[in-house]
Structure formats: C-alpha cells, structure tokens
Structure 1
C-alpha cells in the first residue's frame, strides 16, 4: 500500500543549527522535523548558542527527542513510499554536534579553531554533491560564520558560497548581520526588523498572531488543547513540550522546503508554507531575501495584508498535515491512517511545477481528472490565482492581470483558464511598454481529501502569456 503514496523528484540537503533549550519551540520544531525526515537528506544537527542562550549548548536534548523518534520510525515507514524511507534513529544521532559555547562573534577569528559543528558543516559544504546545502538556523549563526570566515581566502570560496542556501529565524546573534555585510551574494532568507521585535517577522505567522490579525488568522489548531489531542501523542509526541511564547517559531525554515507541490525553494518570491520573501537589493538578486506581504481573506471575511499572512494563510493545512504524521507514528497499519492525494494535471503526475506558454487572450484547459487518493477518499478541487508572485514593479493589487478560471463540470476537476489580453498581461505597467512575453501568472490547484485529519496537496501551474503581435 505504501507504494501508492507520493514519491519525490529528489531530496533537499539540510543542515540545522538550533539553540535548543533556549525555550520549548526548538524542541517542538525538531519533533515536527523528524516526522518529515523522509523528505530530506539531513546532513547535520548542531546545538548552538544565541542571544538568549549565550554560553552553553544542549546536544543532549536533541538525543532525547531522537530516542522518542527511535520508538516510532518503523511505524512512520509504513506510510511513505518505499523509495523515500525515514532515516534510522542511529543515523540521525550520528549527525548531532555541538557548536561553540560562546556568543556570536566570539567564535569567529583567525586564531579560533572550528567547533565540531563547524567542522561538520565544512565537510558537508566540501562534499562532491551538486545539490544546494540548506542551512536552517533556529538560533545564532556563529557556526555558519566560522565556516565562511575559514574558507574566505580559498580560490573557490565564491563557488562554495554559491552552494549554500540559508533560512534563518531573524538575527539571534551578532554574526548574522556581519555575514550579510561580508558576503552580500549569499542566498540568505531572513526577516529584518528592530532588535527583538519578533512580532514583525514573517515567520511568526506560524502561530504568533499579532492583535491586529487575530480575527483573521484561524487559531483553532494552535491551542494547547488541540496540540495535546493531536500532537502530544505516542512516544515522539511525549517529547513535544508545551509552548511558552509561540508554537514552533523555527518550523517555517523547513516548511519552506516541504515537498507538497506548492513551494519552489529556489524562488522565495513564489511563496510556500514557509512564507514568501523578496530580494532586499536588486544589486544582489540572489543575496538577502526579506519580508514581503500577501493579501489574504481571513476567517472573518476581512482582507489582511502582511508578511505573517504569507504563512498563516496555510495554517490549517500544515497543522492537519503534522497531525496526520503523528497518527502515522502510532501505527504500522497503512489502512488506519490518512495519506496525501497525488495530483495529475493533463496527464502530468507529481509535485513539480507545470509550465505552459499560451497566447495572450486565449483559453487553456486544465484537467485534473487523473488525480488519485491512496485511501480512496473523496477529493475536493480548488483552483485559484496566486497573484503576488507575479508582481515585479509594485504591489499586486493593480499590476497583475487576472486569470479567469471557469469550471467545466460540477466536480471541479477540470477548468478553462482565460489568459488576459496582451495589453494586460504582456506589459510593463509603469512604463506602459509592451513586451513579447509577460511575467509568469501563477495558478494553484489545491486538492483536499475527506480523510481524518484532512490532507492537502498542491500543484503550481506557471503560465507565460505570449504576445505574438509584438513588433508587428
């Protein structure tokens, strides 16, 4: 039965830096991460310091959570494609290291040796692997700073930096800003705001709703009662602590990489469960990516525009997804749990984006009738335009042209999509300059099953409008 579940085009390489024990959220995030560990090649988990944990590191707490994972990994493997199994607990244990037990820049200098965490990061960076290495930072960045400083004089230093992808949960020591100044070409996702003003950051959309958004963001699945019932279950759930401030503040770093058909990790502007970000400077389009906003209709029917909304708009889906995986951890019986729909559009089955070129003003037909559910559940189909990623000059509300989406038949599996005319879709709005081709128009198909908890899969269709009359 597991062979009928979704498979992946590959696995991202992941290296985690965590100030675990600073507060409970790192432990919470690591519990969730392990339930997705079959999607990733985890290459390091390093306990580090931060402004809130300045002079010690706590790798022992990572081992404690891995002990809980050891008791459920066989059950988890019964629910995933056999080509993408979960790593053994021993394999995960072998990746745990310590960073330097000092704050920030005190760990960086010509005469300061690499910590054991820094040594592992350097080893993985130098490995003969063409895939990017994603460094997910849940605390301070001094281990990363150590390695970047260590390689700075190598003739291949720029090539090595080009292999890195960093997503850090704001700046939690004084090395983050230093890294960005020293190497502005480094792919680096980070919310920037007043020091310690975390409520302004995109990543807080995971659960830390500001008062102005609490009526719009659905909070029903981040309460302690919901978490106790759906997450703190079984041996791994027993390692998931109650939250102190917000739930899982570090989780957006890997939600961004989840392979569910929505996100495109090399394109932060596209948006995903881990949020949406834009280049801070056009001088370095592959450098620092910082907060941007989505316009989202909340549960109260009002419209909200914020960076946090780029995450909380998906909250019910990603919380149910986690709850389903915790159910997997309780049983090795495939029939006793729910599994993800597998989307097929026009015969293209899988998770990767679908690219279509279409004449401006024409109509294309998209048919998802080939979509299947491993459990035989009824499926609900929802097609919509994700407008924000298409905006390149200003805010999307007036720059991006509308796709007209018309269902064909009552079940929603098939739609006709009308591409806007060239004077709407193949134009630089500010300059009123016509183009031979317009920007991608992003169409999302969201398929939800009727199982418990309900699971959602996505496909992104990227439509390029073509202006065949350009220059004539």
Structure 2
C-alpha cells in the first residue's frame, strides 16, 4: 500500500518538535534579535569553544524588566520569603550606603608614596565567556588594583548553554602576568597573577537557568559564593553576572536550605549586578530573596558599549568608538594583555558591572539610584533595580541610556591611560587627579543658608587641573533650580532653596591636562532640613 503523501514521517515530527522547543526558548528569552550572529575563531585549546558565537543581549527594547512573582518553580519552592513581595512600601531593604567606601577621605594616591591601604570593594565575576566577555575581562584586568577580586567563575547562559570553556580567563591572566611588574610601578596594589588564578572556579556548564538550581546542583563556583557570603568580612560582596545567574541562584538556594539562620545576613551582604536577563532564574531570585540588592542593566549597556551594530547614543561617532582609536591606544603597542581584545572597535556589554564599582568619587556603589560610570537605576520592586532615565528631552530611549553614555568618553580615556601603564614608566604615563573635600561629603543645611563647596585636588603628575561644580538633579529629590556660584573654581557656593525634606546632589568634576586628560569627582549630598 503506498504511503500517504500527507502523513508526516517520524523524522518530520521530531524535527517539528525541535523547532517548537527552539521557538519556545526564543520567546522566553526575548532579548535576542533574530538571525544576529557574529563569526569569531575560538581560542586554541579552549574547551567548549565554537567558531560561531551567538550575540547575547539582543534588542533592549524587548527586554523583560518586570518581576513576576507568580512564577515559582515547583522543584525549588517559594522559600518562605514571598509574603514580603506584595508589600513593597514596607519592605526594609539596604539601599543607602550600600557598599561604598567608608568615611570622607578622598581617593588615595596611586603612587608607591602612599602608605594608606585604601578600602576596596569585594567582587566576584561570573561569566559565560563569549567574545564581549573576553573583551571586558581584558579591560577588567587593568582595573583589578581597584577591587578585592575574590572569585572568577566560569558559567553559562541561554546563548552559551555549555559556556565557552574553562581556560580562557587563566590564559588572559597569563598575559596580565607579562605586564604585572610594570603595572605595579603605577600602583603597588595590583594583585599577583597567582592570587587571581587562585580564585578561578567552575560553575554549572551542563545546565542553565532554573534547571541548574536545586538539590544536587552545587558547583565549586556556587560553593565559593556561599563561603564568601558566610565569612567574617563585613564588607558587601558584589557578584557580577556577565552571563546567566544560575550559580548565584544556586548559592542563594544553598544558603536557604543549609544555613537558614545566616540567610538574612548573607542577603544583606550580597550585591548582584547582572547584565540583561541571560537565563530564566532572575525572577526567582528577585521574588524569593526580596531583600538582596539586585541590579539588572537591561538597556543602557546595549546601546552604549555592547555590539557596534546596535549602538545608539549621541556620542556613538566619537573617535573612541572607532577602530583607529582602539588600534592606536589599546590593542597595538600596549603590551600582550591589551592585545587580548577580540573586536575591531569597543564591544564590551559586561564592563558596566565593574565600571559601577570603580572609586571615581561619584559614590555610585552606595545606592543604585546615585548614578555613575556603571549607569543609574531605579527600584522597581522589592530590592530589584533596573535602568532609569536622565534628562534628554525629545527622545525617551536616549534619556534611558544617558546615565551611561554621559560618561563613556571619559571612561574610554581612562582605559587608554591604564593601557599605557602596561608598558610606560610612571613618569611617561598619566594618572587621574586625587580629589578631596574641604568639608564632609554629606551636609545638612537650612533653607536660605549659603552653602560653601570646597574641592581640594592634586595631580600625581603635576598636571594642571580644572574644576566644574554641577548638580546631578536627576539623582536628587528637589524639582526646582539651584544656581551654583563660581562653578568653575575649586570653591563654589549656593543658597539652599526652601525645600525642607529634599536633598541635592552636587558634584565637582576635576580634569587634568595630561595625555589623555583624566577626570575624577566628588559628590556632596546636601540634605535640607
């Protein structure tokens, strides 16, 4: 009997089922644009590498940004914290002074003449190792003197469910080792290559998202996060998600299941900064651990510093985004570490996570809504924060991305200077100004009071300095205008408006005349009482 030509074969049915599964994943992770791929060669000897990488992140306008706390995976359970979810107004969360540098002291001098050991932020990086992650890691290694790097975890994401091997960070640290001695001429606090390798850990590379969390899913990476959250160090622990957040979620699961009496303290300590939603577990974290600070950069990273084909901001044609600038100032003639950059132009979707932590004087690590080099964020629900806008009339998308693009040129010039440190002597390179205040960084004043603002800056290289006081009005609570007198001098002043209960954020930008010109800042928060 001849077969029915309209009856599908088993193979066809199987193929159709596979297509349905793929379509479901594509819908669930809507941050991916269709048919967007970039070709790149995987590193030699790297496990799990592929000559073709799918671009992560995708269209930021399609990013899902709202917590849906009705989603509770059955195998994980609600965890006993969901009763807090609906009562956002009464939920006490640690949002202010959340991990900043304590005290009113300025940025400590970079030279070996400084005997003061500066307090640093603790950080763990989890990464799926795609091309832009590798680019970010190359830059990150030039800034590791600014942090206490306590974990480097290989992980995965929906775009790279098997990750991209477990050797590439070690390989880049080997390149860092070749310039380590010269970097220490500029700052003796660069950590040794061995100390960085000692905190390399492997997370779950076999399952991603919600399927990677639960009983029997612990990994060396998640166990390491747990151990640091339980240690005696009182400082906040910043945990970056450059890929999926499954290892972070597994650490929280393990704390809840095995250390319930210490869970609240651990949640008070953790600071999660995730780049986009690169798996499906972020909702579970945000809803089940509502007091844990969770920043998710869904939009700003993409239009400003991620892939060139989707860049959209007013400075996108600045030379720092061009191939010539990158070649001349970073990848060529600046040593083997900066040569480990796998794009022809700036493409680093994940770097804002550590930009946020650099002690520029903007105090951005104290609260996500302060704003700084890593963007600015508003609390949406519980202690979950996502992108918020700065003022840019006429274009809501450019306004949403302004908290990052307003700084990006200076961030790039700062990177240029760090790349110089890899080969140049201290005398040949430029170093950022050291900015202090002539008063406390938090002031309480009365309406009508004349308030003095005093900056005291020096430059390690003896460069000339310029000053500019300005108000970051998007970050403060006062709706009116404030006139700053002598704004272009070290000492400025203003009259406090009649606005009891409001606060003002005043910032001084100090710029040197070195090559490249570098900036640092100090933020003064003025409370009107």
* Class of the TM-score when normalised by the shorter of the 2 chains: 0.7 to 0.9
Aligned length: 415
Partners of 2:132 and 2:306 within 8 A in 1: no
Per-residue CA shift, 1:80-99, capped at 9, x if unaligned?
2x4xx111111111111111
Partners of 1:209 and 1:217 within 8 A in 2: no
RMSD: 2.5
Offset of residue 159 of structure 1: 2.0
Per-residue CA shift, 1:302-328, capped at 9, x if unaligned?
998522110010011110001100000
Corresponding position of 2:173: 66
Partners of 2:304 and 2:312 within 8 A in 1: no
Corresponding position of 1:430: none
Offset of residue 203 of structure 1: 5.5
Offset of residue 330 of structure 1: 0.9
Partners of 1:70 and 1:89 within 8 A in 2: yes
Partners of 1:202 and 1:291 within 8 A in 2: no
Per-residue CA shift, 1:173-211, capped at 9, x if unaligned?
11112211222222100145xxxxxxx445643356898
Q: 1:414 aligns with which of 471, 486, 491?
A: 491
Corresponding position of 1:455: 518
**Correspondence 1:166 to 2:288:** no
Corresponding position of 1:359: 446
Corresponding position of 2:214: 109
Corresponding position of 1:345: 437
- Partner Cα distance (1:439, 1:203) in 2: 33
SS in 2 for 1:45: strand
Corresponding position of 2:255: 151
**Correspondence 1:36 to 2:99:** no
- Partner Cα distance (2:124, 2:176) in 1: 18
Partners of 2:139 and 2:338 within 8 A in 1: no
- Partner Cα distance (1:293, 1:210) in 2: 23
Q: 2:325 aligns with which of 226, 231, 255?
A: 226
Written as runs of structure 1 = structure 2, the 5 A alignment for 1:28-427 is 28-80=135-187, 82=188, 85-101=189-205, 102-110=207-215, 112-153=216-257, 154-191=260-297, 200-201=299-300, 204-206=303-305, 213-215=312-314, 217=316, 219-232=318-331, 233-242=334-343, 247-281=347-381, 284=382, 287-296=383-392, 305-331=398-424, 333-346=425-438, 354-368=441-455, 370-391=456-477, 400-407=479-486, 412-420=489-497, 422=498, 425-426=499-500
- Partner Cα distance (1:61, 1:274) in 2: 25
SS in 2 for 1:159: helix
Structure 1: unaligned runs, 5 residues or longer: 193-199, 392-398, 427-437, 467-472
Corresponding position of 2:36: none
- Partner Cα distance (1:356, 1:460) in 2: 11
Offset of residue 373 of structure 1: 0.8
SS in 2 for 1:390: coil
Per-residue CA shift, 1:96-155, capped at 9, x if unaligned?
111111222222122x24111112111212211111110011000111111111121322
Partners of 2:305 and 2:311 within 8 A in 1: no
Per-residue CA shift, 1:340-397, capped at 9, x if unaligned?
1112332x5xxxx7111222122122233x3211111111111100001113xxxxxx
Corresponding position of 1:433: none
Offset of residue 73 of structure 1: 1.2
SS in 1 for 2:366: coil
SS in 2 for 1:149: helix
Q: 2:119 aligns with which of 10, 22, 28?
A: 10
Distance of aligned partners of 1:342 and 1:99 in 2 relative to their CA distance in 1, 3 Å threshold: same
Distance of aligned partners of 1:25 and 1:57 in 2 relative to their CA distance in 1, 3 Å threshold: closer
Offset of residue 51 of structure 1: 0.8
